[in-house]
């Protein structure tokens, strides 16, 4: 059965669309919580994606506000495809002429998992052929210039079920625009934000990243605390489509700006590497939160505090190269020695090292498998006490 989104026939309206927010495996519940905060319910959660019904305004709002999702798609169709003819006919059933302008650059990408149609390039070719066939019946021509706005169309096949969708985000939502250069195995901004959400940290508590690298974790904490929308300073592909009136998009951005807060925060970020320290400060300045973070150049061995109920979130080196393994393992041992003296503190460490807990010297209260891009990592959660009510 083919299920078409309202986009196919109501491009200029504010009617409901079927949208998909994609995310890294393991943080689906965090993204779902974000969507509910935006007033969006009736969520269907699957591995790495959350599907929901929403308006065009919600499409813009999700792109601007979601901190932990990777992209937002407009779902166009879903159908069974066990051979190329089924894939062609399913794609042909979409009203492409109501979606794409005559000069649209049709960029088809794809993926296939556990399906009979396993050749992604062939699937992309069939989809593109069906789109052009449908466009020809709309515009009365057979050759299209494709010199206009780019429309990224994704064909995704899972267990022989094909889903056609349109990428509204463009560059991944983790690209906030403040980080020009990451360090070794940089933590994605979206994953950093998700870990902060998981940590239960609130702006009235002290926050520390003693191995800050390019500063992503501390910067995301400051952005969250000050309620600065994740995508407020970037652009998205949907803006070029002309579906959403400019005044509506401007109102959404102004609404986000007016909701920003100017709080006194205790966010500390440090690193022993001068280049990393300098890069982190530059990134924070571009993000507009340099005045909310105290940056210090010092090794983790020098970290100490008399404060209680603080929160440490850090992404130490993984030791991916053989020459770096011993250095990373020594650092984990040192972390265990330094952090064990922090009574009532919560500590969250994300690493790909399988023996982290043994080197750290204690087992985590919780352990969550997460993916930093394609790297399988583990979030080790050492849960300290929360501040007494009213403190």
- What is the predicted pLDDT for the residue at 112? 96
What's the CATH number for 189-228+241-382?
3.40.50.150
Q: What is the per-residue pLDDT for 7?
A: 41
Q: Which helix (H) or strand (E) holds 156?
A: strand 150-158
Query: Residues near 21 by Cβ (< 8 Å), separated by ≥ 6?
Result: 31, 35, 49, 50, 52, 62, 66, 69, 71, 72, 73
Residue 254, H or E segment: helix 246-258
Domain ranges of the chain: 6-167, 189-228+241-382
What is the model's pLDDT at position 343? 83
| Model pLDDT, residue 391 | 66
pLDDT at 5: 43
Enter the DSSP assignment of 320: -
How does pLDDT run across 257-297, given as a tens digit for each residue?
Answer: 999 999 999 999 999 999 988 999 999 999 999 999 999 99
Top CATH class, 6-167: alpha beta
Strands (E) in 322-365, as ranges, are: 346-351
- What pLDDT sits at residue 11? 44
DSSP single-letter state for residue 237 = G
Q: What is the pLDDT of residue 297?
A: 94
Residue 243 CA to residue 222 CA, distance in Å, equals: 33
Question: Which parts of the chain register pLDDT below 50?
Answer: 1-14
């Amino acid at each position: 059965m083919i299920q078409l989104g309202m986009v196919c026939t109501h491009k200029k309206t504010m009617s409901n669309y079927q949208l998909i927010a994609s995310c890294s495996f393991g943080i689906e519940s965090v993204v779902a919580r974000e969507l509910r905060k935006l007033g969006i319910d009736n969520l269907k959660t699957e591995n790495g994606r959350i599907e929901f019904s929403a308006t065009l305004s919600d499409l813009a709002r999700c792109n601007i506000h979601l901190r932990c999702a990777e992209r937002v798609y407009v779902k166009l169709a879903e159908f069974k495809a066990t051979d190329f003819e089924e894939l062609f006919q399913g794609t042909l059933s979409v009203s492409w002429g109501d979606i794409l302008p005559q000069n649209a650059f049709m960029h088809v990408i794809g993926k296939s998992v556990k399906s009979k149609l396993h050749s992604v390039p062939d699937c992309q070719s069939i989809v593109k052929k069906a789109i052009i066939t449908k466009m020809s019946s709309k515009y009365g021509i057979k050759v299209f210039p494709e010199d206009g706005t780019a429309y990224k169309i994704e064909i995704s096949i899972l267990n022989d079920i094909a889903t056609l969708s349109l990428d509204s985000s463009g560059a991944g939502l983790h690209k906030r625009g403040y980080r020009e250069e990451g360090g070794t195995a940089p933590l994605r901004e979206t994953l950093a934000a998700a870990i902060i959400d998981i940590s239960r940290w609130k702006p009235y508590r002290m926050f520390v990243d003693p191995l800050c690298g390019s500063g992503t974790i501390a910067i995301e904490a400051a952005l969250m605390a000050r309620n600065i929308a994740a995508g407020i300073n970037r652009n998205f592909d949907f803006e070029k489509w002309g579906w959403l009136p400019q005044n509506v998009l401007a109102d959404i951005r102004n609404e986000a700006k007016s909701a920003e807060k100017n709080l006194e925060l205790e966010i500390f970020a440090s690193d022993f590497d001068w280049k990393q320290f300098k890069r982190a400060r530059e990134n924070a300045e571009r993000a507009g939160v340099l005045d909310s973070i105290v940056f210090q150049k010092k090794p983790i061995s020098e970290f100490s505090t008399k404060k209680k109920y603080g929160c440490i979130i850090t992404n130490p080196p993984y030791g991916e190269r053989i020459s770096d393994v011993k250095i990373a393992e020594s650092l984990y041992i040192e972390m265990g020695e330094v952090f064990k003296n922090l009574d009532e503190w919560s500590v969250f460490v994300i690493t790909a090292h399988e023996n982290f807990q043994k080197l750290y010297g204690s087992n985590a209260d919780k352990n969550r498998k997460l993916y930093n891009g394609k790297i399988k990592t583990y979030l080790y959660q050492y849960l300290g006490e929360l501040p007494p009510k009213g403190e």
